[in-house]
Amino acid sequence: MTGFATLLYKEVLRFWKVAFQTVAGPVLSALLYLVIFAQALGERVVVFDGVPFTAFLVPGLVMMSVLQNAFANSSSSLIQSKVTGNLVFVLLAPLSSAEFFAAYVLAAVVRGLAVGVGVLAVTMWFVELRLAAPLWALAFAFLGAALLGVLGLLAGLWAEKFDQIAAFQNFLVLPLTMLSGVFYSIHSLPPLWQQVSHFNPFFYMIDGFRYGFFGAADVAPAASLAVVAVSLALLSALALRLLAAGYKIRT
Amino acid sequence: MEKRYGALRALAGVSLAVEQGEFFGLLGPNGAGKTTLINIIAGLARADAGRVAVLGADVRQEYRRARRLLGVVPQELVFDPFFTVRETLQLQSGYFGLRANDAWIDEVMHHLDLTAKADANMRALSGGMKRRVLVAQALVHKPPVIVLDEPTAGVDVELRQELWQFVRRLNRDGHTVVLTTHYLEEAEEHCQRIAMLKAGCIVALDTTQNLLASLKGPHPADLEDVFLHLMQKH
């Protein structure tokens, strides 16, 4: 195995060894959201024509889980290695910053997709779903997980303690996902908040992913994909630059 | 080499060459710049001025080659709590692109008396055992140059003796060894040449014999006498 493949394998093994916490827990949380929201709002909310609310909710929950867990993987792995000091073993190895970047981000994608598949698998017992455009769904899941993996990597590089990662997660990632249309279509919002939603990159990931299921979305999927791809490219460029400079990891 | 951390001058123009195959000691009080120097050699820190090469490989321009040539035992007792001893060593081999390295991993574990703990989680090991794993991790890729940053700090007598036996054997087999330690009798016993640092400057650089002979007195000097004399003088 190459150095890159080993680092990727290590990062995957790291979350897989504690899969109850990193995969099963988030799947159960998403299931609870579905049961509670569907029970409370099921009959009263109208979204797309002919789509029951529970069916509308599932892709949103899947994508929310993908995004949150991709972020959690790279950010928590990096901050743990920095705080405990074992990042030194990776820094001593003949790995380039691009290999370092790719291994952390791809492991985050694997964790995000593993949780996403888990959420989809358990919710399918409650809701009948079909994938109208599976390739769109896959593209948004992959790029969305990669984007959050890169964001987690940036947070992990910047943070010096666990508290700062928690702040990043609670004050940025969580509000942006919750307000991105997981639980509602933005067309049900007042015009001002519809406008505001368009500045939230998470909205495009959720909306595009949902298009993969229903063939309908608030924004054209190609436009959403462009927003996600450009955001991913910009954040990746920043992360690669910081890694090459040894920002907060090589003194 | 020069290195500053804010207002602190960690290295104020250090220049030295360690010969291939040498057992070299780097001594100095806390804060003298020993670890900074090692970190720059290992690529964990970057010099503000000057350059470092490991067997001809520049640590910045040719970092992949330089890091393959170098095995570093860090001073801090760090470990990854997710893995067993064997997994830790297999992963470290993999970072260096080595596949099917189990025969060498078994040999290193045998020499460091780690075989019985191969499948134990890193969290379950005592401090001394964790230190052995750190040494093993530095050796998985068979580096010709080995850097030991205070390898015997907080280690019991038995392990100290085993460790020196093993390191001396590696040195006899042709490995270059660079050692920092606060136990001056260890440096006196093992090192052929010694550099003494104080406040980021080299205050002495000579063979151990010459350093010992440099201090004239009624009794033969040991390295501690020489060290204290030089530190007070500079």
- Tell me if B78 and A1 make a contact (CB, 8 A cut-off): no
Contacts of A81 in chain B (CB under 8 A): 80
Q: pLDDT (tens digit, 9 = 90+) per residue, A131-188?
A: 899 999 999 999 999 999 999 999 999 999 999 999 999 999 999 988 888 888 887 8
How far B153 CA lies from chain A's nearest CA (Å)? Answer: 17
| ipTM surpassing 0.95 | no
The shortest CB-CB distance from A88 to any of B64, B65, B74 is to B74
Q: Give the span between the Cα atoms of A228 and A216, in whole angstroms.
A: 18
- Domain count of the fold of chain A: 1
Q: pLDDT (tens digit, 9 = 90+) per residue, B171-225?
A: 999 999 999 988 899 999 999 999 999 999 999 999 999 988 888 877 777 888 8
Q: Which residues is A13 bridged to in the sheet?
A: none
**Chain Cα centroid distance, residue A111:** 9
B154: pLDDT strictly greater than 80: no
The shortest CB-CB distance from B78 to any of A6, A86, A93 is to A86
Whether residue A69 is contained in a domain is answered as yes
Whether residue A130 is contained in a domain is answered as yes
Contacts of B82 in chain A (CB under 8 A): 13-14, 17-18
Task: Give strand ranges (E) for B56-150.
Answer: 57-58, 70-73, 145-149
Q: Are B137 and B89 in contact (CB under 8 A)?
A: yes
For range A189-214, the mean pLDDT: 90
Q: Give the span between the Cα atoms of A87 and B70, in whole angstroms.
A: 17
Whether residue A60 is contained in a domain is answered as yes
- A-B contacts at Cβ under 8 angstroms: 79
Task: Give strand ranges (E) for B143-223.
Answer: 145-149, 176-180, 193-198, 201-207
Within A42-133, where are the H helices? 53-84, 88-91, 97-123
The shortest CB-CB distance from A251 to any of B45, B92, B137 is to B45
Q: pLDDT (tens digit, 9 = 90+) per residue, B76-112?
A: 999 999 999 999 999 999 999 998 899 999 999 998 8
Q: pLDDT (tens digit, 9 = 90+) per residue, B111-125?
A: 888 999 999 999 999
Structure tokens at A37: 């929201």
Give the sheet arrangement for strand B70-73, strand by strand: B70-73, B145-149, B176-180, B23-27, B193-198, B201-207
Whether residue A250 is contained in a domain is answered as no
- Tell me if B94 and A246 make a contact (CB, 8 A cut-off): no
pLDDT of A114:
97
Task: Give strand ranges (E) for chain B.
Answer: 2-5, 8-12, 23-27, 53-54, 57-58, 70-73, 145-149, 176-180, 193-198, 201-207
Instruction: Look up the domain containing A46 and give its range.
Output: 2-245
A23 membership: H or E segment, kind and range: none
A44: pLDDT strictly greater than 80: no
Whether residue A45 is contained in a domain is answered as yes
C-alpha torsion A138→A143→A148→A153, nearest 10: 130
pLDDT of A172:
92
Residue A43 pLDDT level (bands cut at 50, 70, 90): low
B139: pLDDT strictly greater than 90: yes
Whether residue A251 is contained in a domain is answered as no
